[in-house]
Amino acid sequence: MARLSKDLTVAAAVFLVLAVTSAAFRPSLKNGFVNWDDPQYVVENPGIRSLSAAAVGKIFSSFSVANYQPLTLLSYALDYRLSGDDPNGYHATNLGLHLFNGLLVFWLVLLIGGRVWVACLTALLFGVHPLHVESVAWVSARKDVLYGFFFLAALVSYVHYLRRPQARRYYYGSLVLFLFSLLSKATAVTLPLVLLLLDRYPGRTDRKLALADKIPFFVLALVFGGLGFFAQHAAGAVRRPELFNLVDKLLIVPFALAFYLFKTVWPVGLSCLYPYFAFPGNPIFFASLIALFVAGLGGAVFAWGRSSRVVAFSSLFFLLTLLPVLQIVPLGRIIVADRYAYLPLLGLFYGFSEGMAWLYARDLRQGGRVVRVFLIVLAAGCVVGLGAMTARRCTVWRDSGTLWRDALLRHPASSIACNNLGVFYAHSGRQEEAARMFRRALAIDPAYAGPRNNLLLLEGR
């Protein structure tokens, strides 16, 4: 009877996760393609037009848009076979993968924590947070939801292996899933570090075996990490050291950490493109403030984490999965992006959910019922409020016009947004507006070749 009750509770939680996440992201199914990488990945990509052996071989033997991500391109080829040039199919695939990821989050937290409603709240927050809109509502961000799917599945398989070390199929399954995740996006290289974290979380005692188990994972991580760096270098995406001064270089990591933490708690002013930060007045003063904030927060988490496995696991999961995008290795001019937080946020959501459960379970002799009702209302309010923000944010990605107008609303001095909005106007037959946007982009950045070339094409020269 108790087992049946738990099964029904799990089924209800799964239904809730799927229903609420689907409702939040439903507007994305009405979106089209945008002129922000979608032409290179899908719309104008002849490499996804066929699933022949030769075409698939080329996908696996070449770089695409400064990355090696053959499974992502293969997923586009499958979408093209089913949907052709109709964007609905591509958006449905993205949403489907995100829904599966929500279920994997639920499964993983249930395995390591054991409490259904902690797993449910974590999966709900993961499913509806507005920072995830970019990864789901943007066709070109397929790599995030796809690598996330295999990454989470590898973690689930590995936890099963920890529970039953004699069942080596779970270990090999985790290794294969890790390979698939790397073939989707090189950011998956952090998985071996997370596996070491999982070893410590349930208190694995055989340290030598734990390290030996990770050798194949680290070998794959090194191979694909090197391959990813080579792809970026070949495309000229490795940032030149002279682009940023010494203060900027020292501040990039603490700034990025502060950015993701703040946007997780207060996800307003989101944008598809964040220009590099600029500090008014004395930049060293603001650099010191952010560095002190991050250092103080890190010290507090470290001190608390020594006595709490939940705090240690959730904070380290967040930090370790963020490592590839913290610009420790300087790649490109994009310092922060919503999509970079897709998997790392899981750590923060798990920590928050466990904290809520801890407060709920405390023996509150006075006002206990009021506190518990407040916690339930707070959790429900967070999910509903974030879901509403996500549904609204999905409409920003409807087309290139809505996307770049929103970016310019947030960052009026973005030459890239001006240029891309001009391209949208030009393709829509609005030549005067296009020319105005190209001139505005050049006024912001005279060295930017894109709007200059677009303006010459527009004027027929």
Question: Exposed/middle/buried for 422, CB within 10 Å: 0-12, 13-18, 19+?
Answer: buried
pTM of the model: 0.92
Q: Is the distance from CB of 50 to CB of 80 less than 8 angstroms?
A: no
pLDDT by 10s per residue, the chain, length 461: 556 667 788 999 999 999 999 999 999 999 999 999 999 999 999 999 999 999 999 999 988 877 899 999 999 999 999 999 999 999 999 999 999 999 999 999 999 987 899 999 999 999 999 999 999 999 999 999 999 999 999 999 999 999 888 889 999 999 999 999 999 999 999 999 999 999 887 666 667 777 889 999 999 999 998 888 787 766 555 554 545 555 566 677 788 888 899 999 999 999 999 876 654 444 555 556 666 666 666 666 666 555 578 888 998 999 999 989 887 765 656 789 999 999 999 999 999 999 999 888 876 555 567 888 889 999 999 999 999 999 999 999 999 999 999 999 999 999 999 999 999 999 999 999 999 999 999 999 998 989 999 988 887 65
Which of 326, 421, 414, 330 minimizes the C-alpha distance to 36? 421
Which of 368, 428, 378 minimizes the C-alpha distance to 404? 428
Length of the chain: 461
Query: Domain residue spans in the chain?
Result: 2-396, 412-458
CB proximity list for 80: less than 8 A, separation 6 or greater: 42, 48, 49
In the numeric block, which tokens belong to residue 173? 């399954």
Alpha carbons 193 and 13: distance in angstroms, whole number: 30
End-to-end CA distance of the chain: 79
φ and ψ at residue 238, rounded to 5 degrees: -75, 120
φ and ψ at residue 67, rounded to 5 degrees: -145, 155
Q: Is the distance from CB of 159 to CB of 108 less than 8 angstroms?
A: yes
Tell me the residue ranges of DSSP E strands in 18-143: none
